[in-house]
């Protein structure tokens, strides 16, 4: 098969779902204000936000409720939130406008490519990943976002002492993540108690679903040395 026909393994499935009228209107009228197009250009954070501040990327914001709340709480930090699904993009664009958030922008694209193509090395203070798709069947494990290669990518992009915060309600995925980070000498775990949620993270939509099913939640924070 020619190389161009080989599809990369993606950590998401692109089901766009139906957009509500409000979400569609949000995409149409608010994208020019709060969204950044994917491209080959390196992101100039200070110019995008018109100020300096900690640079935090959230990967997989879903409907964006948590994202907007965190941006409101950590108002001195600048956020770029990335997801592929249009209903969530529409929802979060409307939230940014309603809450008048000046420190949050959206990119609708695969976050791995945003990191690879649009992100300067050693430029990011933190990466948030809340409830990444667990891909719980063993034969699908290769689709998990957090892999050794992903760790190598974020190691290039995070600043020294930058952190990555991952939350999941899948015990198997939590163990997998802890193991991957343990095998990389660049990282040390910040929280030894992996079930303790930092105060800045509100509960997410997926988390509530998991908790209602009786799942435990793991919050894992690793610092790059």
Ligand X SMILES: C[S@@+](CC[C@H](N)C(=O)[O-])C[C@H]1O[C@@H](n2cnc3c(N)ncnc32)[C@H](O)[C@@H]1O
Shortest Cβ distance from residue 59 to ligand X (Å)?
Answer: 6
Tokens of 31: 């994208």
- One symbol per residue from 13 to 52: x for binding ligand X (CB under 6 A), - otherwise; what is it? ----------------------------------------
Q: For residue 130, what are the β-bridge partners?
A: 167
Residue with tokens 């290769």: 142
Total site size for ligand X, rule CB under 6 A = 23
Strand 124-130 versus strand 78-83 pairing type: unpaired
Q: Is 46 known to be catalytic? A: no
Shortest Cβ distance from residue 217 to ligand X (Å)?
Answer: 10
Return the range that interacts with ligand X (CB under 6 A); candidates 41-49, 60-68, 149-157, 212-220. 60-68
**DSSP state, residue 139:** G
SS3 of 46, please? helix
Shortest Cβ distance from residue 13 to ligand X (Å)?
Answer: 8
Q: Which of 40, 46, 125, 133 is catalytic?
A: 133
Return the range that interacts with ligand X (CB under 6 A); candidates 18-26, 29-37, 55-63, 175-183. 55-63
Q: Is the dihedral of CA 26, 27, 28, 32 positive or negative?
A: positive
CA atoms of 225 and 222, how far apart (whole Å): 9
Pick the binder of ligand X from 26, 68, 133, 157 (CB under 6 A): 133
Write out the H or E segment, with its range, that includes residue 177.
helix 171-182
Pick the binder of ligand X from 26, 87, 90, 132 (CB under 6 A): 132
Q: Which sequence positions are flagged as catalytic?
A: 133
């Amino acid at each position: 098969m020619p190389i161009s026909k080989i599809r990369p393994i993606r950590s998401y499935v692109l089901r766009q779902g139906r957009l509500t009228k409000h979400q569609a209107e949000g995409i149409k009228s608010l994208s020019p204000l709060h969204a950044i197009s994917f491209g080959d250009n390196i992101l100039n954070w200070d110019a995008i936000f018109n100020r300096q501040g900690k640079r935090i990327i959230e990967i997989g914001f879903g409907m964006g409720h948590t994202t907007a709340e965190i941006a409101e709480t950590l108002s001195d930090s600048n956020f770029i939130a990335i997801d592929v699904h249009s209903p969530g993009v529409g929802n979060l664009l409307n939230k940014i406008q309603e809450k008048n958030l000046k420190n949050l922008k959206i990119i609708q694209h695969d976050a791995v490519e945003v990191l690879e193509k649009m992100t300067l090395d050693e430029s990011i203070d933190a990466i948030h990943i809340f409830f990444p798709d667990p891909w719980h069947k063993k034969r699908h494990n290769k689709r998990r976002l957090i892999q050794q290669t992903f760790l190598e990518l974020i190691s290039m992009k995070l600043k020294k002492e930058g952190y990555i915060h991952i939350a999941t309600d899948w015990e198997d995925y939590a163990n997998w993540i802890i193991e991957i980070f343990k095998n990389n000498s660049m990282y040390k775990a910040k929280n030894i108690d992996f079930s303790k949620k930092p105060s800045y993270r509100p509960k997410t939509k997926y988390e509530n679903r998991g908790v209602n099913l009786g799942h435990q939640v793991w919050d894992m924070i690793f610092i790059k040395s």
